[in-house]
Structure 1
Amino acid sequence: MQCHFNGTLLISVLPPLLVTEFLLGILGNGFALWIFCFHLRPWKSSTVLLFNLAMADFLLNMALPFRASYYISKIEWMFGGTLCNICLFMLAVNRSGSTIFLMAIAVDRYMRVVHPHHPINSLSVSKAMCGALALWLLTISMTAHVFTLQHINTTYCESFMIETEPKHNQIWHKFEFIFSFIVPLLVILYCTISIIRHLRGRQLAQHAKIKKALCFITVVAVLFIICFLPSNIMQLLILIKTNQLAKTLPVSQVCPALENLTTVFYITISLTYLNSTLDPVVYYFSSSTIKNICRKVLHLPQTKTDESTEKKTRETGSQSLIVFFSHLLPHINKIPSCNYKKTTTT
C-alpha cells in the first residue's frame, strides 16, 4: 500500500520557499556560469569543478517552478506523467551532483594544502573535464531509476513514496538519497579537519589570510550539514517508523500515523535546494580573482589582491630607498677627497 497525503501545511509553506530559492538560485548560478564562460581566463582544474557545481545547481533550480506550481495547485500535477518523471530526475541527479562536486572541491583543496607536490595537483584542464564527466556519469547511473518509479495516479508526482512493502526501485531511491549525502559528508569533514590540523601544525593558523581561509572552509562544511542533514535524518526516521508501524498497526492506520513525519521531511528536503542558492557566495569568496571579476562586471571598486599588495610594497620600498639616497648624496659630496700620490720604489 502506498500513502497519499493531503499536505495541507505543505501547500502554504513550500510555494514561497521554492519560488524564493528559484529566483536566488537562477540569478546567482546564472551569473556564476556567465563569469566562468566569458570572463574567467585561463581555467584551472579547480575552475572545472566550480563550473560543474554551478551547472548542477542551475539545472536543479530549473525544476523548482514546476514543484512550486504542484503545491500551489494543492498537490495536483498538471503536466503529465512524462514531465513528472523528468522533473523528479532533474531534482535527484542535480541534488546528488551538487553533493558529489562539493566533495570533489573539498578533496582538491585538501590535496593542494596537505599534499602540494602530488601529481594530481598538476592535472590539465582537459583531464579535469574528463574527471567531471565521469562524476556526472556516476551520478546519472545512480539516479536513472527515477524513471521506473510508479505513481498512484497521473496527478500525484512524488519520488519518495511510503509503502508498507516497498519495491526494489523505491528502496534503491532512498538508499541513494542517503548514500549521496553520507559519503560526501564524511569526505568533506575529513578534508576540512585535515587542512585545519595541517596548517595549525605548521603554525600558520594565526596568519590573517590563513585564518580567513580556515574560517571559510569551516563555514562551507557547516552550511553543507545544515542544508542536507535534516532531510536525511527525517528519511531514516520514516524508514524506521514505517517498518515498526507495519508490524504493529493495521495497514489502514499506517499512513495517518506517518503524515506528520512526512510533512516535516518534505519541508527539510526543500531546504536542500537552499544549498544551490548559497554556492555562488562560495565562488565569490573562494577566489580573489573571481571576486574582482564580479566587482568589475558590477562596476564596484576593486579589492586589493595579494599580488597587487606585494607589488605596491615593493614599489614603496624602492621609492623609500631612492628618497634615502637622494638625501644622502649631498652629504657624500661634502666629504673631502683624499689624493693619493703614486710612489715608486727604486
Structure 2
Amino acid sequence: MQCNFNGTVLISVLPPLLLIEFVLGVLGNGLALWIFCFHLRPWKSSTVLLFNLAVADFLLNIALPLRATYYISGIKWKFGGALCNTCLFMLAANRSGSTFFLMAIAVDRYMRVVHPHHSVNSLSVSKALLGALGLWLVTISMTAHIFSLSHNSTYCESFLIKTESIHNISWHKFEFVISFFLPLFVILYCSFQIIRHLRRRQLAQQAKIKKALYFLTVVVVLFVICFLPSNITQLFIWVRRYKLVQNLPEDEVCTALENLTSTFYITISLTYLNSALDPVVYYFSSPAFKNSCRKAFLLPQVDTVQSTEKKTRETGCQSLSQL
C-alpha cells in the first residue's frame, strides 16, 4: 500500500515559498553565471567549483515553477509522467550536486590554507574542469534511478511511503540522506581545521582574518539550516513508520504519518533556499567576483584583486579571500 496525502497545508504553504525561491534563485544565479562567463577573467581552479555550483543552483530553480503549479493545482500533476520524472531528477541531482560542490569548495579552501604547498593547489583550470565533471557523473549516477519510478496519473512524488516493511528505506531516500551528511562532515572538518590552523599561527586576532572566520561560520550555519531539517525529518519518518507498521493496520499507517510527511515536504522545500543564498557566498568570499560584479554595474571597486592578494599574502591567508 502506498500513502497518498491530501496535503491541505502544503497547498497553501508551498506555492508562495517555491515561487519566492525561484525568483531569488534565478536572479541571483543568473547574475552569477553572467559574471562568471563574461566578466571574471582569468579563471582559477576554485572559480571552476563556484561556477559549477551556480550551474547546479540555476538548474534546480528551473524546476521550481512546475512544483509550485503542482501544489497550486491541489497536488495534481498535469504534465505527464516523463516530465514528472525529469522534474524530480533535476531537483534531486542538482540538490545533491550543490552539496557535493560545496564540499569540494570546502576541501579546496582547506588545502590552500592548511597545506598551501601541496601540488593539488596548483591544478590547472582544465584539470579542475575534469574534477567537476567527475562530481557531476557521481551525482547523476546516484540520482538517475528516479527515471525508473512509476507514478499514477496525477501524483508526482519521489519520496513515497509504503506500508510494506521491505520498502522502509529505498535507494532514493538513502542517497538523499548520505548526500547531506557526507558533505556536512567534510565541511565541518575542513572548517575546524582551518580555524585551528589560523589560531595556531596567531592569525585569528587580525581584523581581516576574524572577518573571514566569521564568514566561514556563517556559510556552515546556512548549510545546516537549509539542509538539516529535511534530513532529520526523513530519519524521523523512517523510525516512526517502522514502529507504526508493527502496531497498526495498513490503512491507519498513512493517516498517522500525515503531519510528519507534511513537515518533511515543507522542510525539503527549504533546501532550495540554499540556491538563492549561494550568490551571496560568491560575492563575499571572492574579491575577484565582487570586483567583477561591481564593475559590471559601473560601481566603484572596493579593492583591487592585486592589492587584496598582496594583503592576504602578508597575513598568510591568501586562500580565504581568494576562494
State the TM bucket, normalised to the shorter chain. over 0.9
User: What is the distance in 2 between the residues matched to 1:134 and 1:14?
Assistant: 34
Instruction: State the 1:292 CA deviation.
Output: 1.1
Spell out the pairing of 1:72-221 with structure 2 (5 A cutoff).
Answer: 72-151=72-151, 153-165=152-164, 171-221=170-220
Partner of 2:27: 27
User: What is the distance in 1 between the residues matched to 2:246 and 2:309?
Assistant: 70
Partner of 1:266: 265
Runs of 4+ in 1 over 3 A off after TM superposition: 166-170, 305-311
Native 8 Å contact 2:287 2:308 kept in 1: no
Instruction: State the 1:132 CA deviation.
Output: 0.4
Native 8 Å contact 2:165 2:245 kept in 1: no
Instruction: Note closer, same or farther for the CA distance 1:200–1:72 as it changes in structure 2 (3 Å cut).
Output: same
Secondary structure at the residue paired with 2:59?
Answer: helix
- Please list the CA deviations of residues 75-98 of structure 1 after superposition, one character each: whole Å capped at 9, or x if unmatched: 010000000000000000000000
- Please list the CA deviations of residues 88-138 of structure 1 after superposition, one character each: whole Å capped at 9, or x if unmatched: 000000000000000000000000000000000000000000000000000
User: What is the distance in 1 between the residues matched to 2:169 and 2:308?
Assistant: 56
Native 8 Å contact 1:160 1:170 kept in 2: no
Native 8 Å contact 2:26 2:61 kept in 1: yes
User: What is the distance in 2 between the residues matched to 1:305 and 1:38?
Assistant: 18
Instruction: State the 1:204 CA deviation.
Output: 0.3
Instruction: State the 1:300 CA deviation.
Output: 2.0
Instruction: State the 1:33 CA deviation.
Output: 0.5
User: What is the distance in 1 between the residues matched to 2:160 and 2:255?
Assistant: 14
User: What is the distance in 1 between the residues matched to 2:44 and 2:161?
Assistant: 45
Q: Greater relative contact order (Cα 8 A, min sep 6): structure 1 or 2?
A: 2
User: What is the distance in 2 between the residues matched to 1:306 and 1:5?
Assistant: 54
Q: What code does the residue aligned with 1:18 have?
A: L
Native 8 Å contact 2:29 2:58 kept in 1: yes
User: What is the distance in 2 between the residues matched to 1:123 and 1:166?
Assistant: 48
Q: Identity over the aligned pairs, expressed in percent?
A: 75
Stretches of structure 2 lacking an aligned partner (at least 5 in a row): 311-323
Native 8 Å contact 2:96 2:179 kept in 1: yes
Spell out the pairing of 1:170-319 with structure 2 (5 A cutoff).
Answer: 171-305=170-304, 307-308=306-307
Instruction: Note closer, same or farther for the CA distance 1:167–1:40 as it changes in structure 2 (3 Å cut).
Output: farther
Instruction: Note closer, same or farther for the CA distance 1:78–1:309 as it changes in structure 2 (3 Å cut).
Output: closer
User: What is the distance in 2 between the residues matched to 1:164 and 1:217?
Assistant: 43
User: What is the distance in 1 between the residues matched to 2:111 and 2:168?
Assistant: 37
Stretches of structure 1 lacking an aligned partner (at least 5 in a row): 312-346
Bigger shift: 59-68 or 163-172?
Answer: 163-172
Partner of 1:328: none
Spell out the pairing of 1:326-341 with structure 2 (5 A cutoff).
Answer: none
Q: What code does the residue aligned with 1:84 have?
A: C
User: What is the distance in 1 between the residues matched to 2:17 and 2:205?
Assistant: 40
Partner of 1:51: 51
Who wins on radius of gyration, i.e. which is larger? 1
User: What is the distance in 2 between the residues matched to 1:253 and 1:45?
Assistant: 54
- Please list the CA deviations of residues 278-304 of structure 1 after superposition, one character each: whole Å capped at 9, or x if unmatched: 000000001111111111112222202
User: What is the distance in 2 between the residues matched to 1:304 and 1:241?
Assistant: 54
Native 8 Å contact 2:9 2:262 kept in 1: yes
Native 8 Å contact 1:161 1:170 kept in 2: no
Instruction: State the 1:170 CA deviation.
Output: 6.4
Q: What code does the residue aligned with 1:141 have?
A: S
What value does the CA root-mean-square deviation take over the aligned residues?
1.6
Instruction: State the 1:166 CA deviation.
Output: 6.4
Native 8 Å contact 2:106 2:187 kept in 1: yes
Aligned pairs, number: 311
User: What is the distance in 1 between the residues matched to 2:168 and 2:157?
Assistant: 14
Instruction: State the 1:270 CA deviation.
Output: 0.2
Normalized against structure 2, the TM-score is what? 0.93
